[in-house]
Chains A and B, each alone.
Chain A
Amino acid sequence: MSIELRNITKRFPGYTALDNISLSVATGELIALLGPSGCGKTTLLRIIAGLETADTGSIILENRDTTNLPARSKNVGFVFQHYALFRRLNVFDNVAFGLTVKPAAERPSKQEIADRVMHLLKLVQMEWAAKRYPSQLSGGQRQRIALARALAVNPKVLLLDEPFSALDAKVRQELRRWLRKLHDDIRVTSIFVTHDQEEALELADRIVVINKGKIEQEGTPQEVYDHPANSFVYNFLGNVNVFHGRVRNGKVVLGQRLPEEHSELNGHEVKTGQAFIRPHDIGISRIRNGNDHPGIIRDIRLTGSQITLELESAGFDRPIEAEISRESWRNLELTKGDEVFITLDKVRVFTGDFEI
């Protein structure tokens, strides 16, 4: 294990930022800490870097307990949300900084430093900018310099704090793919923090979903997306329809059929919970099969390659959003106001203590 966090707890006046977090990261892995703002993910990253101290718990980097090591001796690379480049130093000196501040005994020669800096600038495709100042670069370019600067000292781990969130959508996507490729090349153990589920899904080997200072779920992007462990993860990752649902004798009861059956429920165990289904897991047809719910199309929206339908169905307090391909939209010849049948077989219900 390259990074191991054991029982990290951090309290601030009035709230608990991290509540007994334990996490292992394998060498060369790229991990995403995903969660809403204020969930504690940045605090966790800063604790690993030594910029904050945990109240309890320990941090082991490459089999060495670094919990009480000062930040400057931890040898981690940190990339900040707002780049944090040294504004008075040019790009070359920024990248060289970590090497030039080494104690004289460990400091490489001037020529070695220059070679290393130019190598890193080439790696981030910025060698043309060596003499520029940070203010002369765009956000995306600055963040690449920040990455080169963090890599200059050969860090054991690379920590990235919402590295792309200050950039516009297109640059963000470009940089995301570029970082993934870079990581595949250099394979430095990395943890990045994000509140953008798309970013986490696309970039990470493994996602750790955090909420209110606790780990809700960890797993590969596919595991987390396809098998959310609880209602929070379901809600946070991707679009989802949420209904009030009931579970009776292990069966999910949804929508208008509930009142009909209600009289028979007496004496049986009934639990209420939240029912979740992703828009693209909803089936739409012209003919009713088995459990389908009748509904009316209220709105049709084009969202890129998909068609989003807004459906109204008796017994559901909120409109249902369904996503279908353009092809099936054309085949079904759907228009506003049409009556259709909605298949909700893939729905999942989370009650207090169990799920179906």
Chain B
Amino acid sequence: MQQRQNQTASPSRTPAKNDPPAVQALLIALTLLFFAGFIFMPLALVFSQALSKGWQLYLDAIREPVALEAVKLTLLTAAIVVPINAVFGVTAAWAISKFTFKGKTLLVSLLDLPFAVSPVIAGLIFVLLLGSRTPFGSWLGEHGIKIIFATPGIVIATLFVTFPFVARELIPLMESQGREEEEAAITLGAGGWRLFRMVTLPNIGWGLMYGMVLCTARSIGEFGAVSVVSGHIRGMTNTIPLHVEILYSEYNYTASFAVASILVFLALVTIGVKALLEKQLEGNHNTRH
């Protein structure tokens, strides 16, 4: 597996010398143009709009209590969602890649459901399931537990939308590593927990981190599903993306872009971490054989 990866990776690193220079130039130019038009320009616009009325207004928009609440809620959600999905992802990937059982194919297909279903529908599912008008929701309400239009609802919707990331990242990795190392550990007398901590976890470590980074990025940026379950209560159930949207629909462009710039900043940090991890992962593949 690793060998194959290396083999397929190495030709792509050497430039295609057979292509005429004109074609090369054209392809590079097109790529750069696309990047400029769809990535650099919007990014620059976010910051220029955010700062269009000066630093003072920018800082005010960010320091506004409601905005700070949104940032807090977003980070809190990510802090709950990412560890849960990491545990779930490792469990699912372990089950799928190392065991054979009935319904495995179905499970693998269902794993992609959150990617396939529109986030709005994902949100609606939870409103229909846990909303105050449903039997379960009203029962919870009677016991003083509010899920929809409150933080738990936001966490649940985000969990749903982001659960495939870690598992999807780990399944191919664990499948390629096979079961032999675990089997060797078992024959040497290792129990379940030691086996996981000393063999499995170190082997999947970087892949797990990578999956968690993707999961973090998505949970910070999720709009659709969260929008449905949140109820848009300012300072209470607004995450950063929802807050940006509200400010924007109130024609408060500067503040809207200022808050959006926080989101962009978080995204850039995530990409940076992801790039570092990719380097690590690649290094590991190369030293394996």
User: Which chain A residues have a beta carbon within 8 Å of chain B's beta carbons?
Assistant: 49-51, 71-78, 80, 82, 84-89, 97-98, 101-102, 133, 135-136, 146, 149-150, 152-153
Residues of A within 8 A of B199 (CB): 86, 88
B188 part of interface (Cβ distance < 8 Å): yes
Interface contact A97-B187, CB-CB below 8 Å? no
Residues of A within 8 A of B175 (CB): none
Interface-forming stretch among B149-157, B189-197, B266-274?
A: B189-197
Bound CA span A49–B184, Å: 10
Residues of B within 8 A of A77 (CB): 187
Bound CA span A50–B181, Å: 15
Residues of A within 8 A of B184 (CB): 78, 80, 84-86, 146, 149
Interface contact B288-A87, CB-CB below 8 Å? yes
B202 part of interface (Cβ distance < 8 Å): yes
In angstroms, how far is the closest chain A Cβ from the Cβ of B87? 21
Bound CA span A74–B183, Å: 13
Interface contact B187-A135, CB-CB below 8 Å? no
Residues of B within 8 A of A74 (CB): 187
Which residue of A86, A135, A150 contacts B288 across the interface (Cβ within 8 Å)? A135
| Bitwise interface map of B from 143 to 163 toward A, beta carbon under 8 Å scored 1, else 0 | 000000000000000000000
Residues of A within 8 A of B12 (CB): none
Task: Please name 24 pairs of A and B residues whose Cβ atoms are closer than 8 Å in the assembled complex, sorted by A.
Answer: A50-B187, A71-B183, A71-B186, A73-B189, A75-B189, A77-B187, A78-B187, A80-B180, A80-B184, A84-B184, A85-B184, A86-B198, A88-B199, A88-B202, A97-B190, A98-B188, A101-B188, A101-B191, A133-B287, A135-B288, A135-B289, A136-B287, A146-B184, A153-B188
Bound CA span A84–B205, Å: 18
In angstroms, how far is the closest chain A Cβ from the Cβ of B113? 29
Which residue of A50, A72, A82, A136 contacts B190 across the interface (Cβ within 8 Å)? A72
Which residue of B181, B189, B202, B287 contacts A101 across the interface (Cβ within 8 Å)? B189
Most chain B beta-carbon neighbours within 10 Å: one of A75, A86, A150: A86
Residue of A whose beta carbon sits closest to that of B181: A84
Bound CA span A89–B185, Å: 12
B49 part of interface (Cβ distance < 8 Å): no
B203 part of interface (Cβ distance < 8 Å): yes
Which residue of B183, B189, B288 contacts A80 across the interface (Cβ within 8 Å)? B183
Bound CA span A103–B201, Å: 20
Bound CA span A73–B188, Å: 9
Interface contact B188-A149, CB-CB below 8 Å? yes
| Bitwise interface map of B from 258 to 289 toward A, beta carbon under 8 Å scored 1, else 0 | 00000000000000000000000000000111
Bound CA span A71–B288, Å: 28
Residues of B within 8 A of A49 (CB): 187
Bound CA span A73–B189, Å: 6
Interface contact A101-B198, CB-CB below 8 Å? yes
Residue of A whose beta carbon sits closest to that of B205: A88
Bound CA span A133–B288, Å: 9
In angstroms, how far is the closest chain B Cβ from the Cβ of A232? 30
The 3 A-B pairs at the shortest CB distance, nearest first, are namely A84-B180, A98-B188, A88-B202
Residues of B within 8 A of A71 (CB): 183, 186-187
Residues of B within 8 A of A135 (CB): 287-289
Residue of A whose beta carbon sits closest to that of B284: A87
Bound CA span A133–B284, Å: 12
Interface contact A84-B188, CB-CB below 8 Å? no
Residue of A whose beta carbon sits closest to that of B182: A84
Bound CA span A216–B173, Å: 41
State whether A97 and B287 are in contact (beta carbons under 8 Å apart), knowing that A51-B183, A80-B183, A88-B202 are contacts in the complex. no
Interface of chain B residues 73 through 97 with chain A (CB within 8 A): none
Residues of B within 8 A of A98 (CB): 188-189
Bound CA span A292–B187, Å: 58
Residues of A within 8 A of B188 (CB): 72, 97-98, 101, 149-150, 152-153
Residues of B within 8 A of A84 (CB): 180-181, 183-184
Residues of A within 8 A of B190 (CB): 72, 97, 101
Residues of B within 8 A of A51 (CB): 183, 186-187
Bound CA span A149–B199, Å: 15
Residues of A within 8 A of B198 (CB): 86, 89, 97, 101
Residues of B within 8 A of A82 (CB): 180
Residue of B whose beta carbon sits closest to that of A133: B287
